Structure formats: structure tokens, C-alpha cells
Amino acid sequence: MTLSIKQLLLPITLGLILGSSSLLSVAQQSDDAEETENQQEMGRLPLDELRTFADVFNHIRISYVEEIDDKTLLENAIRGMLTGLDPHSTYLDAKSFDDLQVSTSGEFGGLGLEVGMENGFVKVISPIDGTPAEKAGIESGDLIIQLDDKPVKGLSLNDAVNLMRGKKGSDIELTIIREGVNQPFDVTITRDTIKVVSVRSKTLEAGFGYIRIAQFQSKTGEEFRTALAKLQNKNSTMKGLVLDLRNNPGGILQASVEVADSLLEEGLIVYTEGRLNDAHSEYSATPNDMSKGIPVVVLINGGSASASEIVAGALQDHRRAVIMGTDSFGKGSVQTVVPLSEKHAIKLTTARYFTPNGRSIQAQGIIPDIIIERAKVETIKSRGRITEADLQGHLSNGDGDESNSKSREENIKPSLFNTDNQLYEALTLLKGLHILSHNKTQVMNPVTAKPETL
């Protein structure tokens, strides 16, 4: 005797309902009546909707133009359930699950893009530093509407990502819509093995350090502390630090907490709230600000998301850093990877996170203290400029040094000024903050002349 799919599913449905009721009967012994009633309401499954699902499943199974096996249909149903929730919840098949595990370690194959879905198209959250995508000029906010000859509309995010992955050395053509550009345009990118260097550091000028975090991985907190210690060893006196989180798509929550903790002495860093008990968490700083209280400027932009926003929000709320740049992406949700087997899992949004002052970043982002748009800046040189030192027979200044103007021109960093105006402004602000703090520490003894009595 052959049973229809509806006949097979309905007993399972009733069993689930009865099973839920039996479990809830145990809870009745310890909980009050109102709480038990709420639990029973949550435990009930919608029988009518399940009948509809069984009908649709059966129609597709027997009437679709091509035969599709039940396993594929059920996996597609699971995908649809998750992708219908929000842009970040998804079903991870064997390949996607493996890719996720590999990407958190910092090495994976592909183009080097952090992407999401928007209105059916793939939206670039940010290109990853040093990858083919960044070198090809892909920008945050770009919409990918076509991959080679295949339109993106109608594809799931996993399907689109799988198309973008491929053998190292192979090419793919992306058709892109960009704000401010009238027509879609094509970009050809050669795939490569992506090795994400999480933390980079350098000295901008004597005493002023720079740390760039490209992505929050499992060892980012440790790497950040190491980079900061190296800067402190190279500079006998640290005067300020630029923390660059631009185009950082986020990553592991714990790593962002460790970075913020390295710059804070005490207080809440972030807390999460969700429906499950274990979705309620608080993360606080431990004593020992590694930077020893030096001025900090954090750079963010529209590609700064998730864990980047946790760091920026915590330092902003504690007034520990000046946030500079443009509004961040606004991903204030936490995803939990729930393994279903050794090869399959679901990535499910389980909580929202909040800054120490209780701000939800979801769909709002971090608003900088000082807004600096990315721009091309050129120095305007004055023509025919004459100073006192150019006049014939001018008096000397008495200390034998008349090269101040020349030395100032030599100290200007035109490359930074012209190539990265946001970083240039951050460095300028740090210099100003150092001057003010330095002046406050000095005892001012103004010279006062006592009038003589004649």
C-alpha cells in the first residue's frame, strides 16, 4: 500500500503536537499556570499550515516539469524557511558549512568579498584587504546583478557565493550597479586563494601608531595586543593610536570583545538579548588598558559591520576614543551556528547586541563623532609667496635658525594627504589632542615684570 505525502506528514505532525504536550505537562508541576499556558501556546504547531505545506510538497513532487528527489525538496524548504527570516539566517549544506569553518581561520578560496542579499541582489558589505576583489576596485555598497551570464535575481545567497567561488586562476565577470554611476558596468576578477591577514600595524609618525583590523578571527584579540606592544616598543613614547576598522565586515564576537578590552580599564563592552536564556550575555572589560590611556581615533565606514560596530560602539560610549569617518553598516544581530550533523548546520539569528549605553545598532549603525567623507584632496600652493626671510637685509631671529618654513614643508606627508584623507584627518586630530594634553601637564609660569619705583 502506497501512502501519499500528506498521509505520511500528518501523523508526524500530530506526534509532534502530542510530544510537545507531554513535555509541557512536566513543566506544569514547577511553573505557575500562566507560564505553562504560554509554553503550551508556543509548543503548538499550526495544523492547517502543515496540511498546506504537505499539499504543496506533493504537487511539486508529482507535477513539476522535472523530477526532483524528496531530499532536495526538503532542503530547499529549509533554505526558504531561513532566508525568509532575515539576510543573515541560512541553511549550510556540507560545502557551505566547511567554507564557514575555513573562513574563520583566515584562509579560503574565492574573490575576497563579504556579501549579503538586498532586494534579490548580492550586496557587497566590504572587500577584504589585499584580495582580488579589492584590487579590482569593488567597493562597499556595490550591487552585483549578474555573475558571468547568470542573473543573480532569484538565486539564494549560498548559490551566488558558490558561483563566485572556483578554481584559483579562473576568471569571473561581475555586473555591478554602483551609486553615482549611471549604468551597470562589468568587472572581470581572477579568483585566488584568499589569505586574510587579520591585523596589520605601522608607525605613521614618531609616537603615532596605526593598527588595521581587516576581519575579526579567532586569534584577532591576541594579534591586536601583539601589534600594540610592538608599536610601544618601537616608540619610546606613544602619543596616539589610529584603529582602522573601515571595510571590516565583522567576524567572531569574542574577538571584538578582546580588542575593546585591550583599550578599556573597566565597564560593560557589549550585551546581547534574545528569546533563549543563553542568548542573554554580558561582556565586561578587565583592568589593564594596554594603551595606557593614550588618545585613540577609530575609523569606520559603511563597510564596518557587526564585530567592528561592537568595538566602535563600546569605545564611543565609554568616551575612550573619537569615532571618525562615515556611518557604519548597521548589523546589530548575533548569528549562532547550530550543527545538525557532521556535514550540515543552520546559521540562525538568535540575539541582538547592544552597546554599553543600551543602543541597538541594528539597521542604524554607529554614527561617527566626526563625519569625514572619503575624498580626493589636493594641496593648493600659493604663488609668489614672500616672507620676511626673503627680504634683503632682514634681521635674524637671534637663534641662528631661519629654516622653519622649509622644515614644515618637508614634514608634510603629501602621500597620506592625497591618498587617504580620512587617515590624514585622524592623525591630525591625534596631534591636536596630544598637544592639548601635553600643555595641561606642564606648569605654566608666565613672566610678570614688577614695575620699578622711580
Given the residues 328, 331, 333, 347, select the one marked as catalytic.
331
DSSP letters for 415-445: HHHHH-HHHHHHHHHHHHHHHHHHHHHSPP-
Q: Can 156 be counted among the known catalytic residues?
A: no
46 three-state secondary structure:
coil
Residues 215 and 196 sit within 8 Å (Cβ to Cβ)? yes
For the CA atoms of 48, 53, 55, 56, the dihedral, rounded to the nearest 10 degrees, stands at 140
Q: What number of CA atoms fall less than 13 Å from residue 142's CA on the CB side?
A: 25
Residue 354: strand pairing partners: 271, 360
Is 369 marked active-site? Answer: no
Q: Give the CA-trace dihedral at 223, 228, 229, 231, to 10 degrees.
A: 130
Selecting among 306, 308, 328, 333, the annotated active-site residue is 306
* Dist CA 134 CA 137 (whole Å): 5
Q: Is 331 a catalytic residue?
A: yes
CA distances in angstroms from 210 to 30, 33, 380, listed in the order given: 57, 59, 27
> Annotated catalytic residue: which of 244, 291, 317, 333?
317
Round to whole Å and give the CA distance between 70 and 8: 13
Reported as half-sphere exposure (CB side, CA atoms, 13 A), residue 173 has a value of: 8
Q: Kindly list the catalytic residues.
A: 306, 317, 331
